[in-house]
Every structure is written in structure tokens, then in C-alpha cells.
Homo-oligomer: A and B are copies of this chain.
Amino acid sequence: MSVALRPRADDVLAGRLARSAAADGSWISTADFPAWLEERRRAHHFKVERIPFAELDGWSFAEDTGNLAHRTGRFFSVEGLSVTVGEGPFRHWEQPIIRQPEVGILGLVAKEFDGVLHFLMQAKMEPGNRNLLQLSPTVQATRSNYTKVHKGADVKYLEYFTDPERGRVVFDVLQSEHGSWFYRKANRNVLVEALDQVPQDDDFCWLTLGQIGELLRLDNVVNMDSRTVIACFPMGRSEQGALLPDAAVQSWVTLERSRHDVVVDRVPLAGLKDWERDENSLGRPDGRFFELVAVSVEAGSREVARWSQPLLEPTGPAVAAFLVRRIAGVHHLLVSARAEAGFLDTIELGPTVQCDPGNWRDVQAPPFLDTVLQAGPERVVYEALHSEEGGRFLHAEIRYLFVRADETQAPLDLPPGFQWVTPGQLNDLAGHAHYVNVQARTLLACLNSGAARLDDPA
């Protein structure tokens, strides 16, 4: 029996991704894109309204636990979490958390046009998004979605991610999402290069990586699911050197993971300390963190045209920023080891700063927050507002930044829990699960796509 072996690694991929990052599109020019998106917006009917919990259809609070769940037991539920950590101003707390044990698919289909890789992006409505319609990956589906628990239409292009014959997998890796809001959620982040002609659908467009980068410079156009997939693109950056060898970076991650004692217990949503529920929301009297609310949705371009669901609404806009330094000629990002309660494996690497400053108004602010907030325009390399998962969060916007820093602002000798790594090191870690959190991945997507260029004068 004769079998052909295949090369273990794809040596030309990094070059093809770099070419795509530098190219305008064959399918639509970047200049024409806003009109296309506006046309898609007009082609559909969207309406999202806040409703009282009692008007939720199919969702209810369980009598015993108070947990909020769908009658099918699918989609997701809102439960309680009791958390104890070993450091920081908040050592013990209780909170609601979204539990969604099914692994979903965030899948992007790629194809070459005129020798340049293009990616099939979808204009997709999500009830929690600013502007409702944003660019999602080709497929963005929970298992409940694609096994059609809601009895809606088929998920388009799903077969590229379930049938290995339809394309060539470039990467396929589980990634976590917001550890403060989700309990151990993971989605497949997948890029598949199609082998044959790909049928075209109205709500889909082919864009180069460079075009996506252009759109990432705008507020609230490229959705979170797209950003996390793009963060995993193996760009093959091999910096000439780094402050720490890769093995030392990994050792630091391992040490951070083993030194943190995070005790997390699932508890009933009813009776959470410091949280109160009324007809319309579940939140905290001190107004911190987030509220749980309910919405009704009407949409003309989704699998189901009308539904209602809970959403988590953060109380204020957050900030997520990397401080950046050129060290001996090589760019380095200041990462933090974050012990978010919902992480499966204790810590993941986040941006230098990641918080809603309002939550820290009368406690010691996190390190480097002031350095980010007070940065003048000459230090800001990149800045944009992006929406987090619009299927679960309502108007959860984060201001994402890269901010240049010097030795006085961000020293080489760092406080515990911080480390300097190169963009290449962070990108390589994003090739495996449990290393890079979703906020850091948005910023990494900005680097991979060229939206943020660390060499640019600010």
C-alpha cells in the first residue's frame, strides 16, 4: 500500500499571510467596504429591546437554585461562582457567571484570489453589538446552533469545519473567552483553506488580511470572534532575539500558574452575596462590574427570526492596553499573568492593563493603569473601541490600545505577574490553548493584520 507523507510544517504559509496583510482586496476595495456593510444593514430588519425577565421566552430562573437557564438545557445558563484568590484588593467575592460547557466553532474560510489569500467574512447581527451588524468569521456557532436546537436554518459553510475533505486546516485550537464572565468557556478557533470553488452568499465578503487590518482601525466593525481567530494566525515572526528565550517565557508562565491559589466553587445564583435581582436586572447596589438583563430580538438574517435571551451588561467601558518598548532594537509587549475566575487553568496572559477603571475607584489601582490612561497622543500607537461577544454581552466595549513606554514608565525590572515578551513569542503561544486571553488576542489580531504597526511614529 503506497501512502504519501506530507510535510509537518507549512513553510510558505507565513509569507502568504504577510502578502495578504499587505494587499488590497480583489473582491471589494477597502474604500467600497462601508457601502457594502451599509447595504447589508439595510437588507435586513434588526430590532433589540430590553425586556423584563418575566417576558423571556423559554428562559427562567430555577425555583431551587435561582439559576437562569433555557428550557432545553442547551445554549447557556447563568449560575453563581464563589471565588477566593491569594492577592490583590479583591480577595473573596461571589458573582454570576455564564456557563456554556459546549465547545463552539469560530471558523474562517480562506481562499486565494490573484495569488493573495482572502478570508470569507460575514456581516452578522448580534444583539449586544454596538451597531448590531459587525464582521464575524465565516462560521460562528455554538453546538446548540449547529445541531439546530432552535430549529432554525442550517449554519452556512459549517461543512468546512466538520468535514476534513473540504479544505486544508491551517490551525484549529481551543481558546478561552472572558474569564470574568464565562465559566471555563472554550471555542475552536479554526482557519481552513478551501480546496475548491466556494459558493458565495449575500451576507459574506472576501477580504485580505490587510483589509481586515484597515477595518480594525475603526470602532466596532470587526467582531470579537473574528479578532480571536486572526490572533491565532501563525505569522512566523522570528525576532532576532528577545529579552527572555522562549523556554524562559514558558517557565515564567508555569511558575505564575503554580504560585496562584485560586479557589472557585460553583454556587446557586440565588442569594449571591452583594447581588440583588429585580424584575429587570440582576446587579450590585454599588453599581460595580456588570448587570444581567434580558432582551427581545428581531432579525431578518439569522437562523431564527425572533427570540429573547439574557445578556450580561458591563457597567462601564473597559480599557485593555499593551505597553510597548523597543528593547535592544526589538519590540516587546508587557504581558500580565491574569488569574480570572473562569479560566480552566488558573492564569492566562493578558494585556499590561485590562480593567474597567470605574471598578477600581476606591481601591489601589492596578499597576500601569495610570501610565495608560495618562498617555499623550505621541505615545499612543493604536487605539480603537471594539465590542466583545455580542451574543452574550450587551454593549461590552473595550478601548484597546498600544502605548509606547520608556524605562521610567515600564521598567525592565518588573513587579510580580508581569513580563516582557516579543509579538512573535505571544503569537506562538496563541497557537496552543490556555496561554493568551481574549483581550490580549484582540490586540494580537491588530498586530497580525497590520492595524497596529509598532514601528509607526505615534
By beta carbon, the residue of chain B nearest A189 is: B254
Please count how many residues in chain A sit with their CB below 8 Å of the partner chain's CB atoms.
52
- Residues from chain B with Cβ under 8 Å of A240 in the complex: 5
The verdict on A243 contacting B6 (CB below 8 Å), with A254-B172, A433-B345, A434-B434 known, is yes
Binary flags per residue of A382-414, CB closer than 8 Å to B gives 1, else 0: 000000000000000000000000010000100
The verdict on A10 contacting B345 (CB below 8 Å), with A172-B250, A258-B103 known, is no
Report whether B8 and A246 are in contact in the complex, using a CB–CB cutoff of 8 Å.
yes
The verdict on A247 contacting B433 (CB below 8 Å), with A6-B242, A412-B3 known, is no
A453 CB–B CB distance under 8 Å: no
A65 CB–B CB distance under 8 Å: no
A45 CB–B CB distance under 8 Å: no
By beta carbon, the residue of chain B nearest A425 is: B8
- Residues from chain B with Cβ under 8 Å of A254 in the complex: 172-174, 188, 190
Binary flags per residue of A329-345, CB closer than 8 Å to B gives 1, else 0: 11000000000000011
A363 CB–B CB distance under 8 Å: no
A220-255 contacts to B, CB under 8 A, are 238-248, 250-251, 254-255
Q: Least Cβ distance of A69 to chain B in Å?
A: 16
Q: Least Cβ distance of A301 to chain B in Å?
A: 26
Binary flags per residue of A68-107, CB closer than 8 Å to B gives 1, else 0: 0000000000000000000000000000000000010000
Copies per assembly: 2
- Residues from chain B with Cβ under 8 Å of A241 in the complex: 5-8
Report whether B247 and A170 are in contact in the complex, using a CB–CB cutoff of 8 Å.
yes
Report whether B172 and A247 are in contact in the complex, using a CB–CB cutoff of 8 Å.
yes
- Residues from chain B with Cβ under 8 Å of A434 in the complex: 345, 433-434
* Cα distance, A171 to B424, chains bound together (Å): 18
Report whether B327 and A239 are in contact in the complex, using a CB–CB cutoff of 8 Å.
no
Report whether B407 and A1 are in contact in the complex, using a CB–CB cutoff of 8 Å.
yes
By beta carbon, the residue of chain B nearest A260 is: B103
Report whether B250 and A3 are in contact in the complex, using a CB–CB cutoff of 8 Å.
no
A31 CB–B CB distance under 8 Å: no
* Cα distance, A432 to B329, chains bound together (Å): 29
- Residues from chain B with Cβ under 8 Å of A379 in the complex: none
The verdict on A248 contacting B169 (CB below 8 Å), with A103-B257, A174-B258 known, is yes
- Residues from chain B with Cβ under 8 Å of A12 in the complex: none
By beta carbon, the residue of chain B nearest A327 is: B3
A35 CB–B CB distance under 8 Å: no
The verdict on A242 contacting B169 (CB below 8 Å), with A190-B251, A258-B188, A434-B433 known, is no
- Residues from chain B with Cβ under 8 Å of A245 in the complex: 6-10
The verdict on A424 contacting B173 (CB below 8 Å), with A1-B412, A344-B344, A412-B1 known, is no
* Cα distance, A246 to B428, chains bound together (Å): 14
Binary flags per residue of A150-182, CB closer than 8 Å to B gives 1, else 0: 000000000000001000011111100000000
* Cα distance, A153 to B257, chains bound together (Å): 26
Q: Least Cβ distance of A91 to chain B in Å?
A: 18
Report whether B5 and A242 are in contact in the complex, using a CB–CB cutoff of 8 Å.
yes
Offer 30 A-B interface pairs, CB within 8 angstroms, sorted by A.
A3-B243, A4-B328, A5-B240, A5-B242, A6-B242, A6-B244, A7-B245, A8-B238, A8-B239, A8-B246, A8-B422, A9-B245, A9-B246, A10-B245, A10-B247, A103-B257, A171-B247, A172-B250, A172-B251, A173-B250, A174-B254, A174-B257, A174-B345, A188-B254, A344-B344, A344-B345, A345-B345, A345-B434, A432-B432, A434-B434
Residues of A in contact with B (beta carbons under 8 Å apart): 1-10, 103, 143, 164, 169-174, 188, 190, 238-248, 250-251, 254-255, 257-258, 327-330, 344-345, 407, 412, 422, 424-425, 432-434
Question: Which 10 A-B pairs have CB atoms at the shortest separation, nearest pair first?
Answer: A5-B241, A172-B251, A103-B258, A169-B251, A172-B254, A5-B328, A8-B246, A432-B432, A3-B328, A6-B245
Given A6-B242, A188-B255, 19 additional A-B pairs, CB 8 A: A1-B407, A3-B412, A5-B241, A5-B243, A5-B328, A5-B330, A6-B245, A7-B245, A8-B238, A8-B246, A8-B422, A103-B257, A143-B258, A169-B247, A171-B250, A172-B254, A172-B255, A174-B257, A345-B434
